[in-house]
Amino acid sequence: MDDHKPIETVDGPAFESPGIGARRYETPPTGRPIDDPVAAKEAGLAHNEHLKIASRYLRGGLAEGLLKHATGAITEDDGQLVKFHGMYMQDDRDLRAERTKKKLEKAYSFMIRLRIAGGVVTPRQWLILDNLATTYANGTLRATTRQTFQYHGVIKSNLKRAMAAIDSALLDTIAACGDVNRNVMAATNPAQVGAHKAAYELGKTISDTLLPKTNAWREIWLDGEKVVGGEEEFEPVYGKTYLPRKFKIVIAVPPSNEVDVFAHDLGFIAILDKKNQLTGWNVTVGGGMGMTHGETDTFPRTAEVMGFCKPEDAVKVAEAVMTVQRDWGNRKSRKNARLKYTIERYGLDAFRAEVEKRTGKKLGAPKPFTFDSNGDRYGWTEGDDGRHHLTLYVPSGRIKDVENGPQFLSGLRRIAEVHEGDFRLTANQNVIIANVPAGKRAEIEALVDEYKLTKGAGALRRNSMACVALPTCGLALAESERYLPDLISELEESLASHGLQDDEITIRSTGCPNGCARPYIAEIGLVGRGPERYHLYLGAAFDGSRLSKLYKEDVEAKDIKATLDPLFADYAKSRKPGEHFGDFVIRAGHVAKTTNGPDFHTRTGALKPAA
């Protein structure tokens, strides 16, 4: 990873930036962001900035909008604020044309996303969430790439009922979306009991510490007590401005990188001793996936290792990193507002110095660590405490009953009724039936078999992810979740013809360049460009530590197999022992290696014809 080491130029100290050579960094701002709505407008800040400031701590017109029964929608401004409450307004795009023809309002509904730090839920919570899916949503639970659940198809008149059900499970949706710290992900490796416990506890503590303190969520959705009189509400960490954009934190435990630590704003990598006991955390900053097609000043970026901290300092470091981003982040241009751009703009050295100033402690030098993959471990494993854990493969995280196939919704409901442990969602959209006592394993196994639940899949399929995309996501340019299974079937045929059917290769698909399924760190990445058209990216590292490179633009869906087949053939013939596909296509000269950040957009395209 490039660490922005200073070099000398004729103009004095400068810094090396990946792909673009020596450059100067800007001087960081001082003080807190503008928190007056009029001043924010006059300063040319993004509309969302004065919207947040004037929202009365995220209330806006949401309470009044819920009472307007003549429409299934809410206002555009409230549509931005409702994200902080954990939901997005959407419509069924499959029905748009027909409803427009009939002069009907779009089929509006809401996606609701939960805050479940570390992805751990009890059997009781599972049953409540299952009932919510079939009562108020579209009959499915969806495990997301952020280690939580989301619901689709909740109509406006059912929002408060759904929120009450979530509250009864002792869960909430606060800050699952919006310009705040979002759901904190943590490693789920059940075999490393002590390390997982440390990762989960850190994730839960960070999530609670960095949670917005506004009472707006309980006031609006649960008819909670309102703030009255002269008492003014106060956000001690966020202030009136909250953050410039979303902020994502993950906790990783080597050797598994299933949380994709390098793809996020802030990460903690567990450093363990020979007995798997935690000694501290390497701290990573500046990762992020989103970009905009055709705008090279936007790009995905892998995080850099900023330093090492002791366990007792980790929460303070997390808050310091987030508040530096709060104060330094770009509030004029939302497309350049994430932490990755802040570090590109001001440099890692300056950022680290400010974090150390706010924590009052120097970070140590990073400790060595090794990742071997960013996928899940399927099937049964036994922890070092004698408990058993079963990881199930759930295609794209969609928990539903498949006709003539796995009965995920019914089966997991039945398991929740008898399970004595807990459930864990993974960052790869799968489900772990965790902490099964040895005496209950046979009963769980029997239910898994009865409902045809999948304890694995083919090598390519079990290393796949897809975002929701159409029909509900308003940003989707192409299909993803509904398309990827069929594409994998085609590619499995191609791989088998070259004897590669058992090779582990990561493949991920998204319907737009925002990158929710983290396609830019998949060995094969597909990013929607339009109906049945995708940009094809290759060359990322199997362990999630290196970005891919654009190999071919605007590939039609029908041509993806033919484009990849000669590369598979060359891989089968010329690879070195143990060499992964992403490493091979770079070594063999098919595609350039991406170092980081702006370098993502340089030297794109196939470097030589595929044989």
| Domain-located, residue 99 | no
Nearest CA-CA partner of 379 in 389, 369, 365: 389
Based on the domain organization, do 336 and 213 belong to the same domain? yes
Same domain, 348 and 393: no
Query: Where does a domain end: 400, 431, 457?
Result: 457
What pLDDT is attached to residue 231? Answer: 58
Residues 285 and 354 in one domain: yes
Which secondary-structure segment (H or E) carries 424? strand 422-425
- Annotation marks residue 182 as catalytic: yes
Residues 505 and 403 in one domain: no
Q: Examine the residue annotation and report whether 177 is marked as an active-site residue of this protein.
A: no
Q: Which residues are CB-neighbours of 382 under 8 A, at least 6 positions away? A: 191, 388, 389
Domain of residue 470, CATH code: 3.30.413.10
Domain that holds residue 362: 26-70+176-225+235-374
pLDDT at 447: 98
Confirm whether 267 is domain-assigned. yes
Quick one: 364 and 244 in the same domain? yes
Tell me, yes or no, whether 290 and 341 share the same domain: yes
Phi, psi (degrees; rounded to nearest 5) at 344? -60, -30
421 shares its domain with 522: no
Q: State the amino acid at position 193 in one-letter form.
A: V
Of the residues 113, 398, 508, 529, only one is catalytic, namely: 113
Q: Which of 318, 347, 374 is the last residue of a domain?
A: 374
Q: Which residues are annotated as a binding site for [4Fe-4S] cluster?
A: 467, 473, 512, 516
pLDDT at 9 (0 to 100)? 30
Q: What b-and-e string marks burial along 285-312, b requiring 16 or more CB atoms within 10 Å of the CB?
A: bbbbbbbeeeeeebbbbbbbbbbbbebe
Judgement on whether residues 354 and 332 belong to the same structural domain of the protein: yes
Q: How far apart are CA 138 and CA 141, in angstroms?
A: 8
pLDDT less than 70: residues of the chain: 1-23, 225-232
Question: Is 369 in the same domain as 246?
Answer: yes
pLDDT of residue 233: 84
Distance CA 526, CA 538 (A): 9
Is 309 in the active site?
Answer: no
Q: How do residues 578-597 score in pLDDT, each as one tens digit?
A: 999 999 999 999 999 999 88
Residue 259 in any domain: the answer is: yes
473 is catalytic: yes
Please report whether residue 11 resides in a domain: no
The predicted pLDDT at position 276 comes to 84
Q: Which pLDDT does position 227 carry in this prediction?
A: 55
- Options 512, 518, 546, 552, the catalytic residue: 512
Q: Are residues 450 and 469 in the same domain?
A: no
Tens-place pLDDT, residues 498-522: 999 999 999 999 999 999 999 999 9
441, 388, 436, 431: which is closest to 408 by C-alpha? 431
**154 lies in some domain:** no
Question: Is residue 333 domain-resident?
Answer: yes
Give the pLDDT confidence score for residue 189 in this predicted structure. Answer: 73
Which of 457, 483, 516 is at the close of a domain?
457
CATH of the domain at 389: 3.90.480.10
Residue 4's pLDDT is what? 31
| Rounded (10°) angle between helices 484-497 and 560-574 | 40
Q: Do 207 and 58 sit in the same domain of this protein?
A: yes
Q: Which of 115, 182, 549, 552 is catalytic?
A: 182
**Binding annotation for siroheme:** 516
pLDDT at 1: 36
Q: Is residue 20 part of a domain?
A: no
pLDDT at 188: 85
CB-based contact 451:410 (threshold 8 Å): yes
Claim to verify: residue 197 and residue 291 sit in the same structural domain: yes
- Closest listed residue to residue 251, CA positions, set 299, 300, 192: 192
Residue at 551 is within a domain:
yes
Q: C-alpha angle with apex 460: 454 to 466, nearest 5 degrees?
A: 80
Which residues sit in the known binding site? Answer: 467, 473, 512, 516
Q: Which of 156, 248, 377, 508 is catalytic?
A: 248
Name the catalytic one among 156, 377, 467, 552: 467
| Residue 441 annotated as catalytic | no
Q: Which of 516, 518, 546, 552 is catalytic?
A: 516
Question: Which runs of E-coded beta strand occur in 10-70?
Answer: 12-17, 21-23
Q: What's the pLDDT at 228?
A: 55
- Model pLDDT, residue 210: 98
Cα–Cα–Cα angle for 243, 60, 233, rounded to 5 degrees? 65
CB 329 within 8 A of CB 283: no
Return d(Cα 136, Cα 43) in angstroms, integer.
43
Q: How many domains, in total, are found in the chain?
A: 3
